[in-house]
Structures are given as C-alpha cells and as structure tokens.
Amino acid sequence: MTLDDTHDQTLQSWLESANDPATDFPIQNLPLGRFRRDPNGPWLAGVAIGDQVVDLQQAGLVASGDANALIGAGKDQRLALRKALSDGLRAGSLQQARLQAALVAQSQVELGLPCEIRDYTDFYTSVHHATTIGKQFRPDNPLLPNYKWVPIGYHGRASSIVASGASFRRPRGQLKAPDADSPKLGACARLDYELELGVIVGRPNPMGDPVGIAQAEDHVFGLALFNDWSARDIQGWEYQPLGPFLSKNFASTLSPWVVTLEALAPFRAPFTRPDGDPQPLPYLDSPANRAEGAFDIELEVWLQTPKMREAGSEGERLSTSNYKDAYWTVAQMVAHHTVNGCNLASGDLFGSGTLSGPAPEQGGSLMELSQGGKKPIVFANGESRTWLQDGDSIILRGYCRRDGFRRIGFGECRGTVLPSHPAA
C-alpha cells in the first residue's frame, strides 16, 4: 500500500474536533458511511471528520448520495476522493467555506449501515478461536483437518444485518438438552456475541472470473466493526450436518463507518505462519500478502448491563485482541471466495469470524471467556455473566496506532438485547 501526504501525522484540520488526540476520526482517517437528517429522509453518503459528517453530495465531491455506487467506483476514484477531502479539510485550505457548509454534527443525524449490504459470507479466520472452541468439543483434536488449508466460511443472511445502536429480540428456536429425548421450541438461553471485522467489497467481478490474490485487495473498499450474535444452544442442535442456520440469522450488527484500505496503509503487518504449519496453496499466496497482508488493528469488547447503565457506567471491558493474529488475510478471503467463479457485488460483506487472541483472556466471545458457560465472569459491581441477559449491551471498538503515524479508529459497534418475542 502506498503512503502519501494524506498520512502525514502532522496534518491538522481547520475543524478543531478532528485534532483531538482522542478522536477516532482525524483528518488522516476519513471513513465512509451513510446518514440521514430525518427518519423519512434519504440515506446519504458521508465521511466522518472529528465529531462531524461531510455530506459528500452537498460538498460537490460526488454526483449522488449513493454509497454503493461510490464503493464500487474503484480504487482510483477512492484515492481521488481521499485526496480532495484531505486537501479541503486541512488547516489553511481555501476550500474551508465550501466544506464547512456541507458539515453536519454526527449527534444531529441518524447513522445507518454504511451501504446497502447485498450479500453476506462469514469466515472463520482466527485459529485461536477455532482451537479454543474445538477443545470444548474435541479435546484431543480441536482443529479439523481442513482448517489450515482452506479459509472456512458459510453464507449468512444479509436481511438481518442491522446498524450499530439497534436493539434486537432474543431469538427462539429448537433446543435440545443432552439428556432430553426430543427437542423443544423456546427462547435462547445461551446468547453470545462474536467480535469480528467486516470486509466491505468494492469493485465487483463478473460471474465466472476468479480474482487472483495479487488483485484481491483492488476489490475491497475497507473494514468495519462487526458483531455476529450467536445463539449457542440453538446452534449446538442445528449445526450438523450443514452448519449455522437460525442460530445466526436473527441479527448481526455492523458499525456505521468503513475505514478504507488507504487509511489503513500505515498499519499493515507481515503475514506469517507458525513453524511447522503448511504454507498456503499457490492461489492463496503472493509476495505482497506475505509482506503486508495482515492489519495491526487493536480490538476491544465492552459489556454494559442495565444496572451499569442506570449507574452511569459505560460498562466493563471483557477482552482485547488484534486482527494481525488472524490465520487468513483479507486478500485470501477474496481469492478463495471467487476461485470457483463466484461473482461479488459492491456492498457485499465478509465477516472475519470471531477474532480471538492467543491468550485465554483474549477470547472474542463468551463461549470462550466463560468456558462454555462453566466459569462466570464477575464484574466490579458484583454482577456476573456466563451468557448475555436481556437489556445487556455489547460495544465493540477498534483502533490503529503506530509510531510516526496518527492514531485512527473505527468508532463503535453497539447492540442491545431485548426480551424474546412472546410465544405464538
């Protein structure tokens, strides 16, 4: 990835909130999302800067407010837009008046999904998560034989992907206790979250045309925070032989801002495999992927119970991890997804799968942190959790930092559990 003057850590904006060291959205970031000024208004493409949003169409930087059209336009147009915004938002810019007129406070608008999600595939890219979960079911053989050879994934449900801040009902489905003769229909009792990143597809590929790994990132617009909520008790009964179904399609939460690959360029990291592990097959390997296929993104999970909320507490941090520890890269996901000729569309979403770290306390789900519900997590206020309860909120956060560059962030991805729908 190329570095240029838009990454200069000394850049300051005429918008003071963008210069706050604590902001996720300094001038070096410029993530894309969608917003609307009133509940019945259209969704418009915007870029976050400090505590404001730039209305791209009002600023004269795009022809329409269609975020999917912008996402699918390709790398050259994305680079040109980033450069134009960086130049216009810098301190001393002659374009300040024009861009200032196109600003609206984030607190004054509704932030939605960053684009229309056309299709959704969830991967399983964390070997640490796969190993920890596998040990709960297969202590002597936690990883299945294909894991280190193929990027595992399944096709999910795009219709139930919701924007950050939305609440959702606790799902119902078939449940079967180990000692029961037959299943029953009921509300999920083992509700979990999954700390993930979402990969937003940019430029599409025609059906039948695989995308080689050397070109794979040309088809990716950027990354966002993603929570793939999971009903573990429903999942345990239904997942054999075809995998997740009702345990996954009731809700998934996506953050409103997509951080572009250009903004993430300073935070690339080498992709390596542990000694003794097989190297990827040739279609999943390239010099560029080895040199900088990984992303150094620090991730956090926070839980806020109703009691914490009432006390004015933002919650307690459950775990931290880093995306650079994933076993498969973004480029490998694209190359594998299309190797059979599958056509991707602008606005397609890939989930990374749960991103857990190598240490036990770095689990990206309650399934890991509570050891399958056997070890309650105790909080400072005396409350404890093994699984999520009604009223609980999960907040995901992510950020990048490296010496010589400005810290950038992803905002937050927040969702709250509501009681199950009354039985029919």
Q: pLDDT by residue (tens digit) across 138-177?
A: 888 899 999 999 999 999 999 999 999 999 999 999 999 9
The closest of 363, 299, 365, 284 to 330, measured between CA atoms, is 284
Residues 102, 125, single domain; the answer is: no
Tell whether the model's pLDDT for residue 209 goes beyond 90: yes
Per-residue model confidence as pLDDT tens digits over 228-256: 999 999 999 999 899 999 999 999 999 99
Q: Kindly state the average pLDDT of the residues 284-301.
A: 98
Is residue 31 over pLDDT 90? Answer: yes
pLDDT value at position 140? 85
Distance, CA of 406 to chain centre: 21
- Would you say residue 149 lies in a domain? yes
Residues 255 and 340 in one domain: yes
- Does residue 423 fall inside a structural domain? no
Are the C-beta atoms of 326 and 355 separated by less than 8 Å? yes
Strands 103-105 and 52-55: antiparallel
- Give a yes or no: residue 408 inside a domain: yes
Q: Are residues 101 and 244 in the same domain?
A: no
For 295-315, what is each residue's pLDDT tens digit? 999 999 999 999 999 999 999
Q: Among 61, 173, 193, which residue's Cα sits nearest to residue 129? A: 193
The whole domain housing 93 covers 5-111
CATH of the domain at 20: 2.30.30.230
Q: How far apart (Å, rounded) are the C-alpha atoms in residues 349 and 123?
A: 11
Provide the domain count of the chain: 2
103 lies in the same domain as 207: no
Which 8-state DSSP code applies to residue 90?
Answer: B
Assess contact for 252 and 279: CB atoms under 8 A.
no
- CATH number for 151: 3.90.850.10
pLDDT tens column, 317-370 = 999 999 999 999 999 999 999 999 999 999 999 999 999 999 999 999 999 999
Q: Which of 94, 111, 128 is the last residue of a domain?
A: 111
Q: Residue 201's beta-bridge partner residues?
A: 220
The answer to whether residues 97 and 34 belong to one domain is yes
- For residue 424, name the pLDDT band (cuts at 50, 70, 90): low
The pLDDT value recorded for residue 266 is 98
> If you average pLDDT over every residue of the chain, what do you get?
97
**What length is written for the chain?**
424
Q: Kindly state the average pLDDT of the residues 80-90.
A: 98
Looking at the domain assignment, is residue 424 inside a domain? no
Which of the listed residues 60, 84, 111 is the one where a domain comes to its end?
Answer: 111
Q: Does residue 296 sit in the same domain as residue 322? A: yes
Identify whether residues 62 and 202 lie together within a single domain. Answer: no
Q: Which of 134-138, 229-233, 396-400 has the lowest mean pLDDT?
A: 134-138
Task: Catalogue the active-site residues.
Answer: 129
- Is the same domain home to 221 and 303? yes
262 and 79 Cβ atoms separated by less than 8 Å: yes
Q: Which of 77, 92, 111 is the last residue of a domain?
A: 111
Residue 45 belongs to some domain of the structure: yes
Q: Are residues 103 and 148 in the same domain?
A: no
pLDDT for 384 equals: 98
Please report, rounded to a whole number, the percentage of residues in the chain having pLDDT higher than 70. 100
Q: Name 155's bridge partners.
A: 121
Tell me the mean pLDDT in the region 394-401.
98
Predicted local confidence at residue 316, as pLDDT:
98
Q: Are residues 214 and 322 in the same domain?
A: yes
Is there a domain that residue 217 lies in?
A: yes
CA distances to 60, 213, 226, 259 from 93, in Å: 16, 39, 35, 24
pLDDT at 1: 67
- 129 and 104 within one domain: no
Alpha helices (H) in 239-341, listed in sequence order: 287-292, 306-310, 330-338
Residue 175 lies in a domain: yes
Same domain, yes or no, for 106 and 125? no
- Pair 187, 173: CB distance under 8 Å: no
